[in-house]
Every structure is written in structure tokens, then in C-alpha cells.
Structure 1
Amino acid sequence: MEHPALDAIAEALRQIADSKTSKQPLGFGPAPKTQVYVFCNRKHGGIWYTLNDQSQPVNIEHPALTGYIRKLEFKETVRRNEKTHKLHCYIEADKFYVLESSATAHFSKGLLSALASLSPEALRKPITICPQASTENAEVLFCNVYEGDRQVFAPYDDQTDWKRVSRAAIDCVKAANESHKQPVGIGA
């Protein structure tokens, strides 16, 4: 028994599904990007930026990023022949983003402090991250975190135990994602 209306709906759904999947051309070409790196600093006149295909900075004009925090980690890198540590915050949104900031920057401290103060249940919902430029120092970038429309206040000072705060933030993010299978490109 034929159902023309159901067949038309099924075909429309197939077309929608096909249009949503990426169509990688056959043969040689660029590798698909599984994650976009976002550098959180004021070096290039904005508050955060990505790099284009020629490795030139491109400022991001949007003031916030909302998504699911999937992972936090510290990475050791070498910049200008010196070892340095970066905080990587992996966020699942319309794409997978990796926010990168110096581990000792105010942006990282604000992000870690806020995430450490939240519960795993809160981190199972989308979180909004908003960089905020300091009005007193042209190099300083702060990080505001929102749970829904409520700003998370998690003050810190020179006496803050950053190893404890970092461990609490990392553990909270891990606990929030225990039942969530990490997508390809995020890493274990």
C-alpha cells in the first residue's frame, strides 16, 4: 500500500539530512577541521581571535561563546624558545572550539575559578563564556562565565591555591561529562 504523503515526508527528511552532512570532495584536498582554536588574548586588537589559512589572526567580533564544556587541560608549549603553559578549554557548540590562554592569565584564572565553583549538574547544560577587556591595563583580559543568564561570581586573589582550583575545575568538568561520549577530535 502506497502512502504518497509519507513518501514525500520521508524524501524531504532525507534531503534535509543530506544537506546537513558535510560533503568532502573526492581526491586530494584540505583536511576537515575537527576543532577551531580560539586564542584568548588582546595581542591583535580584539578580545579573542582565530587564525586563517595563512596563519594570520582574525578577530572574533562576537562577545560570547555558548556551549558545553567538554574538557580542560594544561599544555606545555615552547614560545620564543621558552617553555610556557597554556590552558585549553574544549567547548562543543556549533563546532568544536578550543579556547587557549596562558595558564597564568586573568582569563584562565577567571575561567578556572568559575568552573570550579559550579556543580557537575550545572556543567551538563550550556555555559556562556565572555571575555572582558580591562579598562585599566591594555594587555589584561578577564573571563566572565554565565550559567544561563546568571553570571557566576568566583573571586580570586594573590592567595588563591591555583593547583587546588585547577584540579577542582578539571574534576567537575570530567564528572559532568562522564555519561557523555566525547566526540571525535576532542581527545581523551
Structure 2
Amino acid sequence: MFDRANNGRYPLRDTEGKPMRIRLMQSVGSSHRHNETLSKALVMPYVEWEGFEKVAALYDDKLAVTPFTAAHQKFPEETSLIGQSTVVTTRAIRKGEVLGVYGGELLPAVIAENRHDPYLLDVFVRLRPEDRKAGAPQPKQISPYLVLSGDNVLSRINTLFEYEMGKPVRQAQT
């Protein structure tokens, strides 16, 4: 069940829902798939220690969780999605515009599995360039027993696929 209040909460929390302060963030981040960079200043409005409603409003300006309907369906294979939640944009999104920060609880996988948390991500760490040694493998999973259980609007975004002969073959263009 999606709770809009989670959009305004600090994005990284422990098993009791208490904020886990982010102490260090790169001033410029880079995409690992594209040759693009992103300033930390664009992300910081979503990482507020206080001001929950202000942060939630940033998400509301761009995204909304709504039930998936036949109107959203692009392919017959998506019939099974009808009635589930989907995320839609509330306005046009510019290329490169920050949507927010994936938020949730950092917790042991066994807790997430017992609670049947549906939106789980493995947690990886990348070394800072100055800390890297020649040949060091990247990225490295922090722990196979630790997951991020997503609960804000970004955790609800689905990927749309194009199908050929009933099988997904690529991510949809729109």
C-alpha cells in the first residue's frame, strides 16, 4: 500500500523508520550508463532532514500513484497489470530533470522477506575515485543480507516494455 507521507520522509531510514543521516555525497555524480553528470544541488531538495510537506510537494509536482487501467495498457500482455498501482507524470518532464531520491528502509533481507515487502533493492557501494586501487572490482554489494525496501513514489515506477510474439523484447520508447 502506497503512503504519500513517505515521499516527504528522509529517504534513508532504519527498521524503526528513524532517519539514517547521509553524511557524504559527491558534489557531482556521473551516470554509469551514459556520459552524463548531475550536480548534487539538484538532488539536495529531496534529502531534507525536516520539512516533510515541502519535500512531498516536490514529488507531487511531477508524479502521482494511480491505479493501472485499460487506458494505460499499451499491449495485450499488460492486462494483468489492471488494478495494480502505476506511476504517472503530472506534467511534462524535461530530459535530465531530477525526479527525486529513491526512499525507504535499509534493513536485513530476512525482515523484508518476512514482511513480504514488494519493492526491494540490493545495496551496493562504489568507491570514491581517490580510494580506488588498480583493478578493484566495482560495484561491490555491501551485504547479501541487507536490502533497501522502497516506499516512496519512485519505488512504484514500473518499466514499460515492447512485446514481440507475446514476449517483452525491449524497453518501450514512451
Q: Same fold (TM over 0.5)?
A: no
Which structure's CA Rg is the greater one?
A: 1
Answer 1 or 2: which has greater strand percent.
Answer: 1
Of the two structures, which has the highest relative contact order with CA contacts closer than 8 Å and spacing of 6 or more? 2
Relative to the length of structure 1, the TM-score reads 0.18
Give the TM-score taking structure 2 as reference length: 0.19
